[in-house]
Amino acid sequence: MLVLMYVYSAAPMTPPVSPLRWLLSGLLLFCVLCMLPSRAFAQEARTISIDEAVDIALERNVTLRQASNNLDAQSAQVLAERGDFLPDLGVSLTPVQRYGTTFDQTAGAFTSEQTQSFSGTVRTNLNLFNGFADVASLNQAQNTLEQRSQTVERTRQTVVFDVVSTFLDVISNREQIRIREENLESQQQQLDQIREFTRVGSRPISDLYQQEAAVAQAEFQLLQAERQLQLSRTRLIQTLQLDPFGQYDFVVAELDEETALVPDSYELERLMREAFSRRADLKAQERAISATRQGVRVAQSSYWPSITLSGSVSGNYSSTTEDALGVGFSDQIFDDRRSESLVLSVNVPLFNRFQTRNQVQQAQVRHENARLDLEALQQDVALQVRQAYLDYQTAAKNLDVTAKQLRAAERALQAAEERYDVGAATLVELSQVRADYVQAASDRVNARYNFVFQEKLIEYYTGVLNPSGPLFE
């Protein structure tokens, strides 16, 4: 902030301030303020819900955009493979202007001469048979297209899951701050009470010092919670690829204990079957196997003979012929000097230095590796689903345990405060009970949001997470 100060002195020799000087000062202040960047002024925070965050991530995520670009490129490749079944068509035109000197025997002298000529050809080629390479190439391109389509879908699910997990971290850390703030306020009130007790002599001075330390510890814990919130907010801003200079307020609807935190009765076997039938990455790998199988057929097509039909129509024109015979341009091109051809070519491979054999072996290796990749991925999926199922069961049990723990800690804290007020408990006992309550409240927050996270993790690992649907109902 720029502050311009003008000090008026009452000394008799000080000249009065002229209006021009005030005008110049005002202009200077205006110019400085105009030069300040717009970010220097307070910005209104943009409110972003979790559904809006998902929409932003799906629009801006680089990996998803690259996967979509690869899908578009493969669509063009499929069109090109379809075009291999069609004949090609080409036209070549060759106009020629010649200059030179010739000996005219009639005139008995050298004369300059200009001649014009023109030739044009229309040609076409059609593949009749190439060992089914064109059919296999088209099938390979179509399988690769479906593979990339499934990859895009899985990438969308991954983006949504990353946003949900990071968003839940932000909301959970915000709840932790609320708990730490309540604890600090309670500790401060306790300090004020103890300070009054020590003033009248009903409590030792050591209780005052101990409570001051407890307040300082509560302030430190609040700072730590605020730091964790800022870190999670930064990760979310990075995930959404938002402007790092912007101000954002990430909000989510309050979790309804009666609906959002009700455990489902999952069955492990059913979850695994569902994952194997719905996971987009599994479908993508299955398409990759089909594509590599067609790649083997493409390589094997070189063992077969190829048959090609080609045809052409040509026409030529020469000004010399027109001068000597009087035949015009159109008559020469389309009649007198026109030629046509129709060629059937058969190419039989006999020996190409084992190139075809090498290409077939390489294609078979790629096919076998793709099959092994599917087996490894299926094993990973099974382990992921099993781990998610066990973690979900633990998270569901923690909901009940932490709820009971929090209720007991609340009653224990209330009783300890009452006993301390009447002198039946020491400050050490009260501090320990209060610490247990804060820990119980923190554990309850972690249990609530961890349960929601584990529920979304099961949806993600089983492949049922819908990027277009509501995330929390």
Side-chain-side CA neighbours of 18 within 13 Å: the count stands at: 3
Q: What pLDDT score was predicted for residue 188?
A: 95
Residue 160 contacts by C-beta under 8 Å, 6 or more apart in sequence? 54, 57, 58, 465, 467, 471
Residue carrying structure tokens 């301030």? 17
- Angle between helix 133-200 and 50-60 (nearest 10): 140
Structural tokens at position 238:
């990075």
Q: Greatest CA separation found in the chain?
A: 146
Question: pLDDT digit of tens for each residue in the chain (473 aa)?
Answer: 333 333 333 334 444 445 545 455 555 555 544 554 444 444 688 899 988 999 999 999 999 999 999 999 999 999 999 999 999 999 999 999 888 776 666 666 667 778 888 899 999 999 999 999 999 999 999 999 999 999 999 999 999 999 999 999 999 999 999 999 999 999 999 999 999 989 988 889 999 999 999 999 999 999 999 999 999 999 999 999 999 888 999 987 776 666 668 888 899 999 999 999 999 999 999 999 999 999 999 999 999 999 999 999 999 988 877 767 778 888 888 888 889 999 999 999 999 999 999 999 999 999 999 999 999 999 999 999 999 999 999 999 999 999 999 999 999 999 999 999 888 889 999 999 999 999 999 999 999 999 999 999 999 999 999 887 766 65
Taking residue 418's Cβ as centre, other Cβ atoms within 10 Å add up to 11
Look at the pTM and tell me if it is higher than 0.85.
Answer: no
Domains of the chain, residue spans = 130-304+354-462
Q: What's the rounded Cα separation, in Å, for the pair 371 and 289?
A: 6
Residues 6+ away with beta carbon under 8 Å from 152: 64, 67, 68, 71
Alpha carbons 143 and 287: distance in angstroms, whole number:
5
d(Cα 434, Cα 190) in Å, to the nearest integer? 11
Helix (H) or strand (E) holding 287: helix 280-300
State how far the alpha carbon of 123 is from the alpha carbons of 88, 91, 164, 308, 314, in Å: 8, 6, 60, 13, 8
Of the candidates 173, 93, 84, 160, the one whose C-alpha atom is nearest the C-alpha of residue 128 is 84
Q: Which CATH superfamily is domain 130-304+354-462 in?
A: Outer membrane efflux proteins (OEP) (1.20.1600.10)
E strand or H helix that includes residue 87: none
C-alpha–C-alpha distance, residues 447 and 426, integer Å: 32
Contact between residue 150 and residue 213 where contact means Cβ atoms under 8 Å apart: no
